[in-house]
Structure 1
Amino acid sequence: MQVQLPGAQPFPSDGPHQGDTGADAVLAGLDPEQRAVATALDGPVCVLAGAGTGKTRAITHRIAYGVRSGVMQPQRVLAVTFTARAAGEMRGRLRELGAEGVQARTFHSAALRQLQFFWPRVVGGELPRLVERKVQLVAEAAARCRLRLERTELRDLTSEIEWAKVTQTVPEDYPVALRRAGREAPRDPAEVRQVYKVYEELKRDCGVIDFEDVLLLTVGVLEDRADAAEQVRAQYQHFVVDEYQDVSPLQQRLLDLWLGPRSSLCVVGDASQTIYSFTGATPSYLLDFRLKHPDATVVKLVRDYRSTPQVVHLANGLLAQARGQAAAHRLELVSQRGPGPEPVYAEYPDEPAEAEGTAKRIAALMESGVRASEIAVLFRVNGQSAVYEQALADVGIAYQLRGAERFFERPEVREAGMLLRGAARGSSDPMLDGAREALADQVRAVLSTRGFTERPPAGSGAVRERWESLSALVRLAEEFEAARRSAGLTTDLTGYVAELDARAAAQHAPAVEGVTLASLHSAKGLEWDAVYLVGLTEGMVPITYAKTDEQIEEERRLLYVGVTRARAHLSLSWALARSPGGRAGRQPSRFLDGLRPGSPALRAARAGGRGAPPVEGVRRAARSPLKCRVCGRVLTEAVERKLRRCEGCPSELDEALYGRLRDWRAEQAREQGLPAYCVFTDATLVAIAEDAPGSIGGLSKIAGVGRAKLDKYGAAVLSLCAGRSPEAETGLVPGADPGDIPDLWDE
């Protein structure tokens, strides 16, 4: 049943109603709490905003309302957040609302601009070069300390140095600060202290600075030079801080220097989404905001416009078990959407089965009409992605790894940008052109010269990926035009090109097709129609190195963030063993107790007469362990299981057959517009070339060759294995009985 607070709107519009003018037009379509945020122009203001409640919408409308009403001058407003993507999104929304000129930046970006301006005057000379990746310097510092570090140890040590710097801890004080924080060092604290000290010396010797130095040096300049601080305060008179629960002590110190004695500050955050304390972030500044500012206006946003009541109910239930300071201030979300499907809890015998089952369910969901770009698989650590990449590739589903190639760096997007820029320059009267023809139609016409069509090509490979990139630009034009019109602003091709340039600078990319694979941390700030939370076992969620109560609670909040990424479809799954045939000793995450069917708390609730939530359980028969056909070792890795041998064991690869298979696969991929891995992965081709099966039964035993691929490619592959040219038509070899082919999903 849909639940709404009084005065709620199921889906507030994104901007002012067409035809409205002036400051009040910005308020149209806001719910009562969002309107309270937008009209609270006298600081300080604290907005406690739950997931999916429209916090970015509220604060951007507040800025736009302040600008349109004359209370704020756009060039006097600084809005800060924590990622370039979030800052880019904020700038885009402000432009749509007619509040151009407002600075929306990350803490580091804003500080770097100020440091570049003041350094020649305060210190003299050019600012030292900024090192974007400090790991090489940390490695050299470790070597000078005669420490030999593995790659993971080096990464952990680098993170530890970053934590020390954002908490303003100098090398000499590191061991004491470590004990006070209740933090476990990746190595002996004395070793970390020494590496940290040598790292700082190396930077000075090389004349470079790191990202943490940008904040530290800016703080130093503003504290030491009153004239510099006054110049910054004269430039920026109104401050907005998004994701305030993620502020570190160093960032808060910088914010205090920016603000000075004034109170025109609006902060927005949710303590229940504090998931970066390992980097020095703390929700205490958000939770104690009213202690520091007793006269603050406090507004709570709890109307969830993102997720269905079923998803919200699970999210609320997850936090209801939480403990600690953040839990005491949790927000009870109220869904503003209609009902949707119940969350699915799925248990599998092993990790490969979990990945294969997830891929199969994603394929079924896509067949029902959900787009690949609206589906995500989220896991605790990046190392879990490989088995899901393999499983999706095996069923022909394209995917994208979060943090992979940037949208605006793709060749087709760069080419499209050049064409659109040229078209905008070639128009003698862009405003008139825009009046004659819709912006999106103009963009379609330009991109049609490079292959854009209204209907997508078949398949999901390189050709489809190119089309999806161009299609994303068309959709962006439609959204840009609609937003500008609703704000009462004009639209033309020149303005759209400027929007693309601004988004490219901020890496604020539109959505593209492909299932997203991402860690829970990197999923923060994003949302999808369907989310698959995988690997939810003790030791993974919560992670095994979470020891203290506060660390455990942060792991709970991390799962909460994952749950609240889903709009409608939500799946939570776990595997009882790492590999097929392994000991089924794993337990589902403790965070699911009281929520999942079969959990002790839920059984107690049933005994007490309370109903259990409906659930679609998924359980598969355990499979025998797969052993290396050469040395007999039990195989655990996805690639090894494909090959049916250890990667280091001798191979019986038929090089000539492997070459024929690769050439044939490339041709199939070109014809169907598929990525090569959607035909067969490299590991599957190697396995085929090693076995050289002579029958459909033999081919079906190779992992990655399921029934669908046997139907489609079986005859051609067997012809290649026999040394013959593949037949013109693909499919089963003549005479094969489809009923004799095992369904690999049900092994």
Structure 2
Amino acid sequence: MTTDNFTGALLQDGAASLEDRILGGLDAEQREVASTLNGPLCVLAGAGTGKTRAITHRIAYGVHSGVYTPQRLLAVTFTARAAAEMRSRLRDLGAGNVQARTFHAAALRQLQFFWPQAVGGTLPNLLEHKAQTLAEAARRLRLSTDRASIRDLASEIEWAKVSMLTPANYLENAQDRGAPGGFDLTAVARVFQSYEDVKTDRNVIDFEDVLLITVGILQEDEKVAATVREQYRHFVVDEYQDVSPLQQRLLELWLGGRDELCVVGDASQTIYSFTGASPRHLLDFKARYPQANVVKLIRDYRSTPQVVKLANDLLAGRRSGGPAADAAWAAPLQLVAQRPAGPVPTFTECTDDEAEAATVAQKIKALLDAGTPASEVAILFRTNGQSEAYEQALAAAGIGYQLRGGERFFARKEVRDAILQLRAATRAVSEEGASEPLGQLVRDIVSSLGYTDSAPHSGGALRERWESLAALVALADELVKVRGPEFGLADFVNELQERSLAQHAPTVQGVTLASLHAAKGLEWDAVFLVGLSEGLMPISFADSPESVDEERRLLYVGITRARENLSLSWSTARTPGGRANRKPSRFLDGLRPNSVATSNTRGKGPAPRRKAAAPAVCRVCGSMLSSGAERKVGRCNACPPSYEEQTFEALRSWRREVALGADVPAFVVFTDATLTAIAEARPASIEDLAGLAGVGPSKLEKYGEDVLRVLAESAEL
């Protein structure tokens, strides 16, 4: 049924039918959300509980009952894809005029409109990527950087800006931020200021500036603020646990003291604290609005009881991390499964990473052979560097895959060519009229690009191209079912254009490979959570109770992506034949068979008062170690080194290449003492490497995997 038909039917059938059509399919709690049309309203929604359904039906019910004017309601979410999905659902409910945008998109639209009158002149160009500008800022200060340090500095500056810090007050508010990009905080503050100067010189602004400048205009210009508040009377904010201080300030200025606000979120899915997100705004909502209604959605329609139980048990297994961490930890929602029973989640220990990848590929092949579509299977890992082993294992098994976070769907050549041909065909169809249904029409048009009704038997580029075109065909079939037979080729091309702008890609047939962070908001029939060993989950640089708690929430997000089949695995060694010194993640204690629950710190409990450290002695002769270099390697200079010469030389050669590539002295990568300690200890895992003096979190992130690779290769010589 089209939007116009839907709206017409509502008007004809009256108010009783309005409730039946929009509220009839909702459960009691969802119905309470959808029928509570005036704020303030706080919806605490667990994973898989239908929060998007509840809030889109609330908006549609408000529009069709006359409480909301569509153009005066703004729905805000955190990704362009989520906003596009919300707009699509609202169109299907006959409320297509409601705006659903990200914070940045909404602010940019306002900034483009109000800049001439509030500031004057032309709005500066938007800087889409910070890397080159940051590199220029560092060069002005004569600081040497590489790609990894630029990435870290960009993340730190983004955190500072969304936390509403300036170069002037950054230093006093960032004392617990470590050494971003390997630089001390004073240097970071200088780079921050230099970056702002470069932007001014080039007359550009970045994405954080869009929010900051909009906030500044709304605070300073009462006329502009009044215009915005007149335009928007009602607000809905999804994923409210991910709001930053800057976004919260913008929301407050939009509201202007009013309380027509509905927020939706789940503190147990807070996994972006490192970007400045804070669940405090969600958790303190009732304190800010004492009259607010609070509704909890706990009925899980996504996952089987077995998956839901594991997710609940994971959060319940959390132990005290001290007063500060306990105060930041929100009591989790206890999900109640609504689906029939399914298979029990499996726990698998493998000998090494290669064996783990091969085991996962075998399990996936069995699922595909049993009829599970490849698009309904995902492999999720903690770091992007883990994907390569699984890409190789899937390719060896003849299984197609897509890497989430790789090339964007709408940037692929075959997709761009298909859209061009579809657009060209709309002219002929409008002149002659469509002689066949949309799905068949799209099939006919893209067949010239290589689409066939059956998939090619070969893999590689040919298979990837076919899968892209098949996704477009499947999307056409799906939209006709939802929008009705009147949905034609021109409508489909417009839909593709909107989805392209929002990067709202259709489903591609292929196993999904993604990091746990990238998997947020998605779901699959079968999920494989891999690499669940200490040092990777929680990650080795999670060095505080609060950061360990965030890692637990990240694993919770991973578990709750699965509808039916869930597999959790880890390996005891990194490479075949390597030392089997890895341990399964502490988060699995009490969950996997024959294990018992432990505290966040593996049974250490609250940290006792530290005793004075014992004098460092040589591990060979037992004499006192006098210098920092001696203490770093654990051996006095009089005792001979215990490393193999080929290992040390391989590490030195690698260090030389890295230093040359980054244009920095070799000691900036690793000092000789640290390199010696690595060669002698021969760490077999990230967690082993992290235990060596001189290998901090930043260097571990930059060089850890490369160092382990060099050690493994030298052992094979």
Pairwise same-fold verdict (TM > 0.5): yes
Identical residues among aligned pairs (%):
61
1:241 alignment counterpart: 237
Partners of 1:495 and 1:32 in 2: CA distance: 36
In the alignment, is the contact (CA less than 8 A) between 1:97 and 1:484 conserved in 2?
A: no
In the alignment, is the contact (CA less than 8 A) between 1:311 and 1:568 conserved in 2?
A: yes
Candidates 397, 400, 425, aligned match of 2:402: 400
Partners of 1:464 and 1:50 in 2: CA distance: 37
Map residues 182-193 of structure 1 onto 2, 5 A cutoff. Answer: 182-186=176-180, 187-193=183-189
Gap runs ≥5 in structure 1: 1-14, 603-630, 638-645, 650-747
What is the alpha-carbon root mean square deviation over aligned residues?
2.8
Q: Does 1:198 align with 2:197?
A: no
Deviations 1:233-278 (A, max 9, x none): 1111111111000000000000001111221111110000000000
1:118 alignment counterpart: 114
Map residues 173-322 of structure 1 onto 2, 5 A cutoff. Answer: 173-179=169-175, 182-186=176-180, 187-322=183-318
1:340 alignment counterpart: 342
SS at match of 2:332: coil
2:669 alignment counterpart: none
Q: Does 1:578 align with 2:574?
A: yes
2:488 alignment counterpart: 492
Decide which moves more: 163-172 or 491-500.
491-500
How big is the shift at 1:382?
1.0
- AA partner of residue 374 (structure 2): A
- AA partner of residue 477 (structure 1): A
What TM-score do you get using the length of structure 2 for normalisation?
A: 0.78
In the alignment, is the contact (CA less than 8 A) between 2:7 and 2:94 conserved in 1?
A: no
1:457 alignment counterpart: 456
How big is the shift at 1:16?
8.7
Map residues 677-696 of structure 1 onto 2, 5 A cutoff. Answer: none
Q: How many residues align?
A: 591
In the alignment, is the contact (CA less than 8 A) between 1:50 and 1:270 conserved in 2?
A: yes
Partners of 2:379 and 2:450 in 1: CA distance: 31
- AA partner of residue 403 (structure 1): G
Q: Does 1:475 align with 2:469?
A: no
1:69 alignment counterpart: 65
Map residues 95-114 of structure 1 onto 2, 5 A cutoff. Answer: 95-114=91-110
- AA partner of residue 98 (structure 2): V
SS at match of 2:414: helix
Q: Does 1:506 align with 2:502?
A: yes
1:390 alignment counterpart: 392
1:600 alignment counterpart: 596
How big is the shift at 1:450?
4.6
Map residues 45-60 of structure 1 onto 2, 5 A cutoff. Answer: 45-60=41-56
Partners of 2:189 and 2:499 in 1: CA distance: 41
Q: Does 1:355 align with 2:357?
A: yes
How big is the shift at 1:206?
1.9
SS at match of 2:590: coil
1:544 alignment counterpart: 540
- AA partner of residue 40 (structure 2): P
In the alignment, is the contact (CA less than 8 A) between 2:219 and 2:225 conserved in 1?
A: yes
How big is the shift at 1:168?
0.7
How big is the shift at 1:521?
0.7
| Gap change, CA 1:190 and 1:451, over 3 Å in 2 | closer
Deviations 1:613-671 (A, max 9, x none): xxxxxxxxxxxxxxxxxx9869x99xxxxxxxx9x99xxxxxxxxxxxxxxxxxxxxxx
How big is the shift at 1:448?
4.4
How big is the shift at 1:102?
1.3
How big is the shift at 1:438?
4.3
Gap runs ≥5 in structure 2: 321-325, 599-644, 658-717
| Gap change, CA 1:441 and 1:520, over 3 Å in 2 | same
SS at match of 1:600: coil
| Gap change, CA 1:254 and 1:196, over 3 Å in 2 | same
How big is the shift at 1:514?
1.7
Partners of 2:224 and 2:470 in 1: CA distance: 47
Decide which moves more: 454-463 or 366-375.
454-463
Q: Does 1:170 align with 2:172?
A: no
In the alignment, is the contact (CA less than 8 A) between 2:241 and 2:270 conserved in 1?
A: yes
Deviations 1:318-353 (A, max 9, x none): 011235356443111111111111111111122222
1:371 alignment counterpart: 373
Q: Segments of 4+ in structure 1 off by > 6 A?
A: 15-20, 631-634
Q: Does 1:158 align with 2:154?
A: yes
In the alignment, is the contact (CA less than 8 A) between 2:6 and 2:94 conserved in 1?
A: no
- AA partner of residue 545 (structure 1): F
Deviations 1:444-473 (A, max 9, x none): 344445554433332344333333223222
Candidates 105, 124, 137, aligned match of 2:133: 137
Partners of 1:511 and 1:71 in 2: CA distance: 36
In the alignment, is the contact (CA less than 8 A) between 2:267 and 2:330 conserved in 1?
A: no
Q: Does 1:419 align with 2:413?
A: no
| Gap change, CA 1:545 and 1:335, over 3 Å in 2 | same
- AA partner of residue 482 (structure 1): K
2:681 alignment counterpart: none
Partners of 2:308 and 2:8 in 1: CA distance: 32
Partners of 1:363 and 1:632 in 2: CA distance: 41
Partners of 2:8 and 2:268 in 1: CA distance: 37
How big is the shift at 1:38?
1.1
SS at match of 1:601: coil
SS at match of 1:307: coil
Decide which moves more: 276-285 or 389-398.
389-398
Partners of 1:461 and 1:189 in 2: CA distance: 46
Map residues 524-563 of structure 1 onto 2, 5 A cutoff. Answer: 524-563=520-559
Partners of 2:576 and 2:190 in 1: CA distance: 45
Partners of 2:354 and 2:447 in 1: CA distance: 42
- AA partner of residue 298 (structure 1): V
In the alignment, is the contact (CA less than 8 A) between 1:142 and 1:148 conserved in 2?
A: yes
What TM-score do you get using the length of structure 1 for normalisation?
A: 0.75
How big is the shift at 1:78?
1.0
In the alignment, is the contact (CA less than 8 A) between 1:130 and 1:210 conserved in 2?
A: yes
| Gap change, CA 1:118 and 1:477, over 3 Å in 2 | same
In the alignment, is the contact (CA less than 8 A) between 1:16 and 1:28 conserved in 2?
A: no
| Gap change, CA 1:328 and 1:83, over 3 Å in 2 | closer
Deviations 1:419-449 (A, max 9, x none): 333444334599x95xx85443443344445
Decide which moves more: 322-331 or 15-24.
15-24
| Gap change, CA 1:632 and 1:341, over 3 Å in 2 | farther
How big is the shift at 1:222?
0.6
Partners of 1:237 and 1:429 in 2: CA distance: 43
Deviations 1:710-736 (A, max 9, x none): xxxxxxxxxxxxxxxxxxxxxxxxxxx
Decide which moves more: 361-370 or 407-416.
407-416
Deviations 1:142-197 (A, max 9, x none): 23333323432221122111111110111222222123xx4334232112112112
| Gap change, CA 1:361 and 1:428, over 3 Å in 2 | closer
| Gap change, CA 1:174 and 1:450, over 3 Å in 2 | closer
- AA partner of residue 33 (structure 1): E
In the alignment, is the contact (CA less than 8 A) between 2:328 and 2:546 conserved in 1?
A: no
